[in-house]
Structure 1
Amino acid sequence: MTFEDNIPDLHHISDAEAEALCARLRGDLLQIVSQTGGHLGSNLGAVEITVAIHRVFDTSRDRILFDVGHQCYIHKMLTGRREAMKTLRTFGGLAGFPKPSESVHDAFIAGHASDSVSVAVGMAHARTRMGEKYHVLALIGDGALTGGLAYEGLSNAGDSKEPLIVILNDNGMSITKNVGGVAEHLARQRLKPQYLRFKKGYRKLMGKLPGGGHIYRFTHKLKTAIKGTLLPCSMFEEMGFTYLGPVDGHDVRRLTRLLQYAKDIDGPVLLHIRTVKGKGYAPAERNPDRFHGVSRFCLETGEPVQPSKRDFSKAFGEAMCALAEEDERVCAISAAMVPGTGLHDFFERFPERSFDVGIAEGHAVSMAAGMAKQGMLPVFAVYSSFLQRAYDMLVHDVGIQGLHVVFGVDRAGLVGADGETHHGTLDPAFLDTIPGMTVLCPASFAEVSSMLRYALFQCTGPVALRYPRGGEGEYRGDAGPETAILRTGGDLTLVGYGTLINEVLQSATQLAELGIEAEVVKVGRITPFDPTPILDSVRKTGYLLVAEESNASNCIGQRLAADLLLQNIPVKGIALQNLGNRFIPHGTVEQLRELCGLRAEQLTKRAEEVLRHGKKET
């Protein structure tokens, strides 16, 4: 689905018109996100640089890469999607991240951090090899420079000699500020238009004169040596970049001039801009972490429309604090997601046992392995989709040695509005591939607490405790880590785990009203998986329906089907209801469960089909 309509041409607007446009866009952005929710602070900080990019480049041809993609709202508004912004992050509406299927102006999907420079190098190489002409830009920042992949990309980009522009959006979340009056003065002087024109002309002249190349190289080395003693950003030039900055990232006039200059440089350029996260909205400027991602809020006060309720992340954080009081070996690790994973109170109460490593999940896992090897009890709280980036460390640094590291896998299952880049639907499969791994799936707040205690003090080897975004359902029990029969019946076996068990229990109630008695089995530990209680139930009922909020590959249902076959247990009917092998779009969790056939009413119909088909066969 595309949304492009009424795309403005900004190439010929005046500086005054550009400034007025920035003010209008910032106001529109506040109005929109206050109604839809979304990533606010980062977009408020990226207004001027986005407008400047659109003044200089043609985003339908030139490739603009956002890192991370939550800085793209203004870009969407400038590429024909202004009216559609009211559908932001809703089912069938605009995605909260760049999405090429949505617009030709979106060069690459980007929901995770630190990959933009690597992708930019790839696009630049493709352009050169294919003899095409377009510009490649990577807008990186907002914490993305804390990820190791960013430095891999920067190192290769500088060495590649490919013409490309890296815009470093420094909002205080990634790197430290330059210090010292001399450094500030030199930075201002070397960004003046007359200096840039002289530099460009001098390079061109030396290229034409006999021996000019030697003279240019000598003066360039001398200048670099002097500058290196005064400016702390020579790292980028040593990598091979032409470094421009730092410059005020909210000065659209100056940004436009610098981008025009950078556009003509034959080689990699790094433009260092300084921005304020939440710029132009006082509550967001005062509290950028809180306004990074927001639900609907009152524009006048900044307060959420609906007060936040206790959720699984909060329950996890509370359990962590309680267990840390009991054992001084318990420590917490976060990859730049302390509030998001419920660890704020832990970090406040136990600062000496709290470690935020930035957007560096691979490093976090390896660091946790080192802690565990030396006798600590490390708990790494991380979103499921972000843990994907640390699979090699899970295998090599934790799994092979069987180290006792606990993973709080937040946002397991369908997460809603953030969509396919953030759904936690792959971890049941990839965690199961690691020998010695234990994977627990609490379905209530009580089970979060009891299973975390079990993971820390009764398990050995790596343990993952996976729980969803949001609150608990009608099920409030605590069956522990074992498989439990929640409802007995002789007509059909219904299996589920996590909070999806609420849909399964509701379906069983609906089936009972139809005269069908279903036995409901809740799985507490999906790896290692003990199928015995379920197989015993199927021996009795002859029918099986497994509901899972995970992809089909290596799901519990497939494992059960294999066990039934291997043990020669006769089955009259079997159905596996999961997400299939596909990426699920954005929408509310309820809408997405309905899309995948996982609502209670749909499970009831599916159960009826299985029973009806089985009776026909017999």
Structure 2
Amino acid sequence: MSVAHHLRAEKDPSYKERNVVSIIGDGSISAGMAYEALNNAGAIGAGAERLIVILNDNEMSIAPPVGAMSNYLTRLMSSRRFLTLRDLAGKLAKRLPSRIERTAKRAEEYARGMITGGTLFEEMGFYYVGPVDGHDMNQLVPILRNLRDAENNGPVLLHVITEKGRGYKPAENSGDKYHAVSKFDVETGKQKKGPSGPPSYTTVFARELLHRADQDDSVVSITAAMPSGTGLTEIAQKHPKRCFDVGIAEQHAVTFAAGLASEGMRPFCAIYSTFLQRAFDQVMHDVALQNLPVRFAVDRAGFVGADGATHAGSFDLNYLCCLPNMTVMAPADEVELLHMTATAWAHDSGPIAMRYPRGSGRGLALPDEGTALEIGKGRIIHDSDGEGVAILTLGPRLYEALEAAKTLTAQGIPVTVADARFAKPLDTDLVEKLAKQHRVFITIEEGAPGGFSSQVVQYLTSSTLLDRLAFRPMAFPDAWLDHNTPEAQYEEAALTAPHIVKTAQDALKVKAAQ
């Protein structure tokens, strides 16, 4: 945006360049793209003069920031003399003639370098200001005005220190719990929770992973700034030397896991589906191309309710299934997730991913440990004798399919319901059996068009099986869905039992008309 303003001003002398302000948190500035932007802005010169980056440093994102950048910011924050010297030198320089001002500025920079050793940001071409108290408006507002009005000679980084939850003690004391807030008591700060229910999918995965880590010292877990969100907190406490939080750096997390796998470790890379998208190139080149046994725990697959379109796990089936050597699983319930975690642990012949949703399981009794599944084999859950409808599901929509089967069976329509378990490799024997024995073939998945269903179609078109079928894929709509409850989102996506019933009925009518 800053470059665009500059280019427009060069073209039209009457156009007034404006300041562009970018605000970033101390957790996010460790991300690779932030470094790339700092490097670019500091190097391009013309076009970035009126760029002001405000670094909001509160030592907290969802979890406390980690890594060398976090430590570096902490050292800067503790360097109080630095700001005092800069203020004095800056005020002095503005009162001197231009020639002396330039000399004074060089002297100021030299003095700052002697005291602090310079800053990383200045080495990258930014003029560093700070740290300043972000809660002191008498200090902060004049600084912002000065930066706005100054004749800048390059990009500026303003380092602002704040406290997450400032002014509300419960939030100050528990920044992680107040990152996303449910209803709470204002006096005590206690958040109101719903009635206790089944454990979440994340908890079930973490339980089995901890069990494997206790038994196998080659198990290593990796997260990208989401230790609590991915369930790794307890594992980090019990096995701190084999649990790594790499910060908001998914690309590095994947390549780090690839390096571990190449040396005989069993890495589990636990990342939300929407965030793993950032690391697709690393999944492709550093893992799949080298056929390294990295285990991907793809959390928050499917709709995520109040987190909205930015966090919806809509595309992982598409971008994972297209990669050679990749195995992709999706559990229908928490017991299946337990088995798939065990399957991933035992799978040493290439990369493997399991995608599972946000929220609670179905309340099924869990075995003491998972049992490894046969790779690429699904299962028939409800069988029928007639040539009616075959429903092949991937993931938790299995139970909506079973509800739909009850309705259709009551109408005299034979229905077979199968759980694919694996999107890749596809259970071609199961697909062929369903296609040969039924007139209507429905696939159901919790992902964007072009994922699991395309694997089924790809196989069916290699034979004449598709010619005799009314094939109906059911997936997410080709649209961004707004924030809502997951139930409302699946209703909007037409992936509930009544929608499955209607799809089957309509397909049967078309088939009968033929």
Cα distance change, pair 474–216 in 1 and its aligned pair in 2 (3 A)? same
Residue 368 of structure 2 corresponds to residue 484 of structure 1 = no
Preserved contact between residue 178 and residue 231 of structure 1 (Cα < 8 Å): no
Query: Where do 1:306-321 residues align within 5 Å?
Result: 306-307=193-194, 309=197, 310-321=199-210
Query: Where do 1:23-172 residues align within 5 Å?
Result: 123-131=1-9, 132=15, 133-161=17-45, 162=48, 163-172=50-59
1:221 Cα shift? 3.0
Aligned partners of 2:138, 2:414: CA distance in 1, in Å?
71
Cα distance change, pair 262–386 in 1 and its aligned pair in 2 (3 A)? same
| 1:350 aligned partner, one-letter code | H
1:582 Cα shift? 2.9
1:375 Cα shift? 0.9
Match of 2:468, SS state, is coil
TM-score (norm 1): 0.74
Preserved contact between residue 301 and residue 355 of structure 2 (Cα < 8 Å): yes
Count matched residues: 483
**Which deviates further from its counterpart, 578-587 or 359-368?**
578-587
Query: Where do 1:185-224 residues align within 5 Å?
Result: 185-188=81-84, 190-191=86-87, 196-202=90-96, 205-206=97-98, 212=99, 216-224=101-109
1:182 Cα shift? 9.6
Query: Where do 1:446-595 residues align within 5 Å?
Result: 446-473=335-362, 480=373, 482-489=377-384, 490=386, 491-553=388-450, 555-569=451-465, 570-595=467-492
Counterpart residue number, 1:604: 501
Give CA deviations for 1:542-582 in whole Å, capped at 9, x if unaligned: 111112111112x2223323322321014342211111333
Aligned partners of 2:166, 2:335: CA distance in 1, in Å?
41
Aligned partners of 1:232, 1:510: CA distance in 2, in Å?
73
Cα distance change, pair 347–169 in 1 and its aligned pair in 2 (3 A)? same
Residue 187 of structure 2 corresponds to residue 282 of structure 1 = no
After the TM superposition, list the runs of 4 or more consecutive aligned residues in structure 1 that deviate by more than 6 angstroms. 474-479
Match of 1:273 among 141, 153, 160: 160
| 1:389 aligned partner, one-letter code | R
Preserved contact between residue 473 and residue 499 of structure 1 (Cα < 8 Å): no
Preserved contact between residue 439 and residue 465 of structure 1 (Cα < 8 Å): yes
Aligned partners of 2:39, 2:462: CA distance in 1, in Å?
52
Match of 1:261, SS state, is helix
Residue 94 of structure 2 corresponds to residue 239 of structure 1 = no
| 2:126 aligned partner, one-letter code | F
1:302 Cα shift? 2.7
Preserved contact between residue 249 and residue 274 of structure 1 (Cα < 8 Å): yes
Aligned partners of 2:79, 2:482: CA distance in 1, in Å?
47
Cα distance change, pair 537–474 in 1 and its aligned pair in 2 (3 A)? farther
| 1:473 aligned partner, one-letter code | R
Counterpart residue number, 1:262: 147
Cα distance change, pair 483–183 in 1 and its aligned pair in 2 (3 A)? closer
Cα distance change, pair 254–566 in 1 and its aligned pair in 2 (3 A)? same
Preserved contact between residue 304 and residue 312 of structure 2 (Cα < 8 Å): yes
Match of 1:400 among 278, 289, 313: 289
1:454 Cα shift? 1.2
Gaps of 5+ in 1: 1-122, 207-211
TM-score (norm 2): 0.89
Query: Where do 1:333-344 residues align within 5 Å?
Result: 333-344=222-233
Preserved contact between residue 299 and residue 358 of structure 2 (Cα < 8 Å): yes
Query: Where do 1:316-327 residues align within 5 Å?
Result: 316-327=205-216
| Percent of matched pairs sharing the same residue | 36
Aligned partners of 1:189, 1:392: CA distance in 2, in Å?
45
Preserved contact between residue 504 and residue 520 of structure 1 (Cα < 8 Å): yes
Aligned partners of 1:601, 1:319: CA distance in 2, in Å?
35
1:585 Cα shift? 2.4
Match of 2:186 among 276, 293, 299: 299
| 1:577 aligned partner, one-letter code | M
Counterpart residue number, 1:347: 236
Cα distance change, pair 438–181 in 1 and its aligned pair in 2 (3 A)? closer
Gaps of 5+ in 2: 10-14
Aligned partners of 1:473, 1:615: CA distance in 2, in Å?
37
